[in-house]
A and B are shown apart, each in its own frame.
Chain A
Amino acid sequence: NAGVTQTPKFRVLKTGQSMTLLCAQDMNHEYMYWYRQDPGMGLRLIHYSVGEGTTAKGEVPDGYNVSRLKKQNFLLGLESAAPSQTSVYFCASKGLGTGPNTGELFFGEGSRLTVL
């Protein structure tokens, strides 16, 4: 099973450039999330989605946009990249309801972005 797949895994951008990170999940999960991970900061939620066509802001949404046009995909966009957005980005997904996987987030392997 693929689970949660992120592309690209590595990217270097110049300040002001734009890019999109793609997250795809094959578990039919309702919820999807974008986090960023920085040293000593843990994981901080950027945006999330509770279903196809919905998005919501997390803890650190500024400078990012997201879209969830299809249930299985969650895109994270940077319109004008800044050095402060240099980070490792993780996508995660979660299913609804009860059962052995209740509440559990499934993570992708991360996308390392460097903004020069």
Chain B
Amino acid sequence: AQSVTQLGSHVSVSEGALVLLRCNYSSSVPPYLFWYVQYPNQGLQLLLKYTSAATLVKGINGFEAEFKKSETSFHLTKPSAHMSDAAEYFCAVSFQGGSEKLVFGKGTKLTVNP
């Protein structure tokens, strides 16, 4: 069965510092992996996704994530945090190709301190 674990329900960084949000997955077949962001009182929007092409994926707003099969990880990073990055971030997994369902992690709330 597919599952997603996000380590740390809350992460706090200073403005300008590195952002690292951790995601590990379990899947019996090669996965599709996603990071979504949710700003307060809004729906979720896609940050980036891995669909078996390049293992280092670049997304919007300067975020990127690296798929590491050996570690079953898909951690999200950004070199320099901005105040506008404060939001909740969700990692999600689905089967490669035709799966109907996306399984979400429980989310990590990112706080950026001035």
Contact = CB atoms under 8 A, between A and B. Distances in A.
B11 interface: no
Contacts, number: 53
B44 interface: yes
B43 A110 contact: yes
Chain B residues touching A, range: 20 to 34
Contacts of B107: 42
A103 interface: yes
A104 B43 contact: no
Interface stretch (A14-22, A43-51, A60-68, A75-83): A43-51
Interface majority SS (helix, strand, loop, mixed), chain A: strand
A48 B99 CA distance: 12
A31 B43 contact: no
Chain A residues touching B, range: 20 to 34
B49 A104 contact: yes
Contact of A109 (B42, B90, B102): B42
Nearest to A38: B106
Interface in B81-111: 90, 94, 100-102, 104-107
Contact of A45 (B44, B51, B101, B105): B101
Interface string A86-116: 0000101010000000111101111000000
26 contacts: A33-B101, A35-B104, A40-B9, A42-B104, A42-B106, A43-B44, A43-B104, A45-B101, A48-B100, A90-B44, A92-B44, A102-B32, A103-B34, A103-B94, A103-B102, A104-B34, A104-B46, A105-B34, A105-B36, A105-B46, A107-B43, A107-B44, A107-B45, A108-B43, A109-B42, A110-B42
Nearest 4 CB-CB pairings of A with B: A107-B43, A42-B106, A43-B104, A103-B32
